[in-house]
Structure 1
Amino acid sequence: MARTHEFTFSGNPDFDFEIRTTIGQAYSGAADIGEVLAAVHGVGDKDHEGWFHAWRELGSRVAAQGEASAAAGHAVSAAAAFLRAASYYATAVNAVASLPSDDDLLPTFRAHRAAWDRWVDLVDVRIDRVDIPYGDTTMPGYLFHAASAAGETGATGASSASRPMLVVANGSDGALTSLWSAAVSGALRRGYDALVFDGPGQQSMLFERGVPFRPDWEAVLTPVLDFVLAQPGVDADRVAVYGISQAGYWVPRALAFEHRFAAAVVDPGVVDVSTSWTEHLPANMRKLLDEAQDEKFDRDMAMGMKFSHELSYTWAFRARPYGTTGYAETMRAVLQYTAEDVAGRISTPLLITSPEHEQFWPGQSERLAALTPDVSTLLPFTEAEGADFHVQPLARSLTEQRMFDWLDERLRDSVR
């Protein structure tokens, strides 16, 4: 029997994972497998310019199809095209990471968000654009409303007058289309309302406002929850939170201080964000960092980057959300993103996915479960199921089934 690691869509591991992630969104309508594979066919493993342009051009072509359908009065077809276009533009945004210039970043992001907003306006779902109070500013978000008829109850026992709510938290570089595919579409089908938003360091907050990440994510998630609880029709006893990718850190960190959520899912669990950075450092470089020899660390890093322009471009792209400049400064910032010392305070029922062959934070789902033994459930996903690799990109249907079955049961139990 073939296993997922025995076939690849590209010899470049980053390209291969992006293809898997994008075609995995076909389950929720955010991709069409054939057009994706056709678009990237022939792109060489080291052709980063070609990789970017393949996705950018695919997004533009599908967006044009959406405009043509909309002009002809075919709203359903137009909405479907704009959702796919938004997904493809989002992949193009990530592809900018390996380009020598980020000149294409903001225009591509704005094309992504424009396609997403066209979908929001056309799709047969009630979606409100919202601004969530955050300090002296706001965070942009989208509030999705389940289409349950008056008096109708769903799997969670929710009626149109009082429904469960799923807050969906993004990772380090994910787009809103990925959140639709990861959780929102499944939530709506089960009678949940759902909220997505850009937090500090994410998407519009970073690219358009220059607001960086922060490690104390309770300062983000608590005002989001306050906003949710103020919305009409929300059952305060049935508000859950889902975090994908690096939100596997954001959410547990916040839950250590914010105890009002009825349940939480992290996909996967992340205790220490920095390991995805430090594990790639040679031992001598880690020693310089440990000994606070920042000047030598920066000098040696700069020398190493001269031998790999692609690595230097990627470093700059990945460092941007942390609001730092120097190499050592960036590493010291990333080292603050740990929940090791606070995870034991979590009292919220917590589901932790654990995919085989997790490539970014291996073993951390298990570590988070060990730190939260009284409240956590570890949920394995395997290669034999076609559900391996970070966030199970080719098994989103299976992931949705398992996490919502668990959430349905927890939210039923939470009703007073």
Structure 2
Amino acid sequence: MMKLQFLYPVLLLSSLCSSLAMPGQSSTRRLYDKRNNDTETDPMYQLSKDSDFHFEILRVLGFAPYEGSDIGEVLIAANQIMPGDMESFHDAFHSIATIVDAQSMAIDETKNPTSARNAFFRASTYFRSADFFLHGNWSDPRIYSLWDKQLAAFTSAISLLPVPGERVVLKGDGFDIPAIFYSSGLPGPRPTIIMCNGYDGSQEEMYHFIGKAVNERGWNAITYEGPGQPTVRREQNLGFIPQWEKVVTPVVDYALTRPEVDPLAIGSIGISFGGWLAPRAAAFEHRLVATMALDGVYDFGPFILSKFGSYLESLFHSGNATAFNSYIDEAVQDPNTTTSIRWAIQQGLWAFNAKTPFEWISEIQPYTLSGLTQNISMPVFIGDSQNDIFFPGQAKALAEHLGDISTYHRFTNMEGAGEHCSTGAGVRQSQVVLDWFQNIIQT
């Protein structure tokens, strides 16, 4: 077999896909410009020489304003991570997680509930981060042991909120939906936002991403996970499904049973790949008053396939699974392959519960909003990030297909919000997005 000579990544949130070259093609020819064709230099300080590790470290650092991390702890971990070394990423965050977890256990929750909650939240974040790059080996027991620790720490944390968070399990169509209800603590029915993560993130992360900001505005928040997302993937062995309305509708049903929820002010947020999932559900679930896609995605599967390059795209369409898998597997095994490519493929196989790259790419092709956007009738906020190396151009495409019901907003590098999903600028993003929702529910 001819050696696969180069791959260029297209990052998917903390998910990533790759641009693949035709065998024998010169490695000097760039198929895809990760700066998103923007000539402006990114003003953000890089936390690692490995661009993927930089993003994931920034992701954790960005939770600091909403109790999800502490800056010094994250920087200590960052200093121990070696570019390209996924095990070092695990080791660094597992070390700090263990330290903070021990601190949390030593705090008297009765006397110092806020301190205990802070520590439990941070430990949970660091355990999740330690797990992040382990999914290439499905039999690695740490995938489950670390997750159990992050769940336990997070559950301890939300029990110490002024109004404790409530874990519930909802019934979907052949699967269970783990969810958490965070009450505003205010009397009377309140606006409520349901929210999901994307390709690689958990519902626990959503609290630090925007859930706490929702509560601070006097609204309720409900996080949830569906098939393919971390807890459902682990506990039910289920990969993603394109019919995301089968996940969202039971969550809306549940919200409507809560006296704290205003039935005329329920919104939905999806981040990263969730920026496709949430609009997909909105095409079928019309009890929502608004949907927010951060960042918006119109095509998911077709977009990813297009970034594999013409040779492998043709090979895929030919149905030659053996050859297609051989090229991808060779790239993953090559020690010179970038972190982005190795992780993109490994996480894709894991999250979609696919045994081979060909199976994974086949499964994601139905993930498009083509033919569905005309069924979305509510206002839709579409975030776009100037330096989005995950889904460049997809937010604009979604806005164009939705037309007048969409509000397109571009977050920029110079405001510190230009990374995918405005990672590292959660306060700024929450201000823009939640002010928009406030205007929707007041009109």
In the superposition, the TM-score normalised over structure 1's length comes to: 0.91
Structure 2 counterpart of 1:363, from 365, 386, 393 = 393
Q: Which residue of 1 aligns with 2:32?
A: none
- Deviation track 1:246-288 (CA, whole Å, cap 9, x = no partner) reads 1101011111122110111110001122256435423211111
Give me the whole-angstrom Cα distance separating, in 1, the residues matched to 2:42 and 2:106. Answer: 38
**Partner residue in 1 for 2:298:** 271
Q: How many residues align?
A: 401
Q: Name the residue aligned to 1:323.
A: 353
Q: Report the counterpart of residue 180 of structure 1 in structure 2.
A: 207
Among 226, 245, 252, the alignment partner of 1:218 is 245
Q: What secondary structure does 2:420 align onto?
A: coil
Q: TM-score, normalised by structure 2?
A: 0.86
Give 1:412 shift: 1.4
1:38 aligns with 2:76: yes
**Helix, strand or coil at the partner of 2:368:** coil
**Residues 139, 354 of structure 1: alpha-carbon distance in 2 compared, 3 angstrom cutoff:** same
Partner in structure 1 of residue 275 of structure 2: 248
Match of 1:128 in 2: 166
| Pairing of 1:99-248 with structure 2 (within 5 A) | 102-148=140-186, 160-248=187-275
Sequence identity percentage: 27
Q: What secondary structure is seen at the aligned counterpart in 1 of 2:270?
A: strand
CA deviation map 1:328-354 (0-9, x unaligned): 111110111111221222111000001
Q: Per-residue deviation at 1:402?
A: 0.7
1:348-379 CA distances to partner (integer Å, 9 max, x unpaired)? 10000011011110011000000001210001
| 1:322, distance to aligned residue in structure 2 (A) | 1.3
User: Could you tell me how far 1:314 is from its partner in structure 2?
Assistant: 5.2
Q: Find the aligned partners of 2:130 and 2:284 in 1 and give their Cα distance.
A: 36
1:347 paired to 2:374: no
- Pairwise CA distance, 1:245: 1.0
Give CA-to-partner distance per residue, 1:59-96, whole Å, 9 cap, x none.
11111111111368321111100011111111112122
Task: Note if contact 2:177-2:247 (Cα within 8 Å) is conserved in structure 1.
Answer: no
Provide the rounded CA distance (Å) in 2 between the counterparts of 1:205 and 1:265: 23
Q: Distance in 1 between matches of 2:78 and 2:58?
A: 12
Query: Structure 2: where are the runs of 5+ without partners?
Result: 1-39
Structure 1 324/98 Cα, relative in aligned 2: closer, same or farther at 3 Å?
closer
Q: Secondary structure at the match of 2:170?
A: strand
Residues 48 and 78, structure 2, Cα contact 8 Å, conserved in 1? no
Query: Structure 1 stretch 65-74 or stretch 49-58: which is displaced more?
Result: 65-74
1:383 is matched with 413
Cα distance in 2 between the residues matched to 1:384 and 1:359: 16
Q: How does 1:392-407 map to 2 (within 5 A)?
A: 392-407=422-437
**Contact preservation (8 Å) 1:133, 1:227:** no
Q: Distance in 2 between matches of 1:59 and 1:203?
A: 19
Q: Is the 8 A contact 1:275 1:361 kept in 2?
A: no
Contact 1:93 1:109 in 2 (8 A): yes
RMSD across aligned positions (CA) = 2.0
Q: What one-letter code is carried by the residue in structure 2 that aligns with 1:201?
A: G
Q: Where does the alignment leave 5 or more consecutive residues of structure 1 unmatched? A: 149-159
Look up the match of 1:85: 123
What's 2:103 paired with? 65
Cα distance in structure 1, aligned partners of 2:218 and 2:233: 32
Bigger shift: 74-83 or 176-185? 176-185
Q: Structure 2: how far apart are the matches of 1:306 and 1:183?
A: 37
Give the whole-Å Cα distance in 2 for the aligned partners of 1:275 and 1:15.
26
Q: Which of 320, 332, 336 in structure 1 is aligned with 2:362? A: 332
Of structures 1 and 2, the one scoring higher in RCO (CA 8 A, sep 6+) is 2
Which amino acid is the alignment partner of residue 147 of structure 1?
G
Asked if the contact 1:381–1:392 (Cα under 8 Å) also holds between the matched residues in 2, the reply is yes
SS in 2 for 1:131: strand
Residue 4 of structure 1, CA deviation: 4.5
Paired residue for 2:34? none
